[in-house]
Amino acid sequence: MTDQTPDTDPLDPSFETELVLPTFALSTAFYAERADGSILLLKRAEGTAMAGVYFLPGGLVDPGEEPFEAAVRELREESGLELLEGPTMVGCYPMWVYGRDMLQLSFRGRVAGDGEAIVSSEHTDHRWVQPEEFAAGFTPDAVTSLAGGNDRIAALLSNIGNDVDRYLRLRGRPDAPGM
């Protein structure tokens, strides 16, 4: 390997005009699957974005951390669950929460044992649902109703719905929306 200067570095070419690119924090969401096909949802605690809503486990990717590692760490921290297999990436989508732009990376994997979760202080409850039940909460009518006219919430819910559709297609569900 040879030393490169900024002018000759193939990964850092010079441009006539400055590139202005968006900056996203990275976040993860995890479709934790039990053997019966159900997925884990955690109820968001007060003081968190979308408090009171059931959603997938997940959280921020720490500086220097690989997204796959972050997804597994967040699953363990928020639910106490360990993976049998995975993680496998499902998709990604932009979102705006906590006053900044984020890129949400979603993963899936099968959890060990019966999947009994121990929720962290970031959540107040948990439940296991069939993925189609989760997907039903993101229909266009549901998104409009839940968003209450807030465009950012509508965009977030629509993006989550698209991600759930991808997840269902990856699982080979013939009844997945968009198939």
Tell me what pLDDT residue 19 has: 76
Question: DSSP secondary-structure letter at 16?
Answer: S
Residue 110 lies in a domain: yes
CATH (domain of 110): 3.90.79.10
Residue 119 lies in a domain: yes
Can you read off the two tokens belonging to residue 5? Answer: 């200067």
What is the value of pTM for the model shown? 0.84
| Pairwise CA distance, residues 164 & 6, whole Å | 42
Backbone angles phi, psi at 73, to 5 degrees: -60, -45
| Pairwise CA distance, residues 42 & 107, whole Å | 16
Residue 115 lies in a domain: yes
| pLDDT tens column, 16-32 | 777 787 788 899 999 99
Tell me what pLDDT residue 123 has: 86
Beta-carbon count within 10 A of 68 CB: 17
Residue 103 lies in a domain: yes
Residue 167 lies in a domain: no
| Domain boundaries, position 120 | 25-129
Q: What is the DSSP string of 150-161?
A: -HHHHHHHHHHH
Residue 56 lies in a domain: yes
Residue 88 lies in a domain: yes
Instruction: Tell me if residue 47 falls in helix, strand or coil.
Output: coil
| pLDDT tens column, 53-71 | 899 999 999 999 999 999 9
**Total number of domains constituting the chain:** 1
Residue 6 lies in a domain: no
Task: Give the residues of the chain that fall short of pLDDT 70.
Answer: 1-7, 115, 173-179
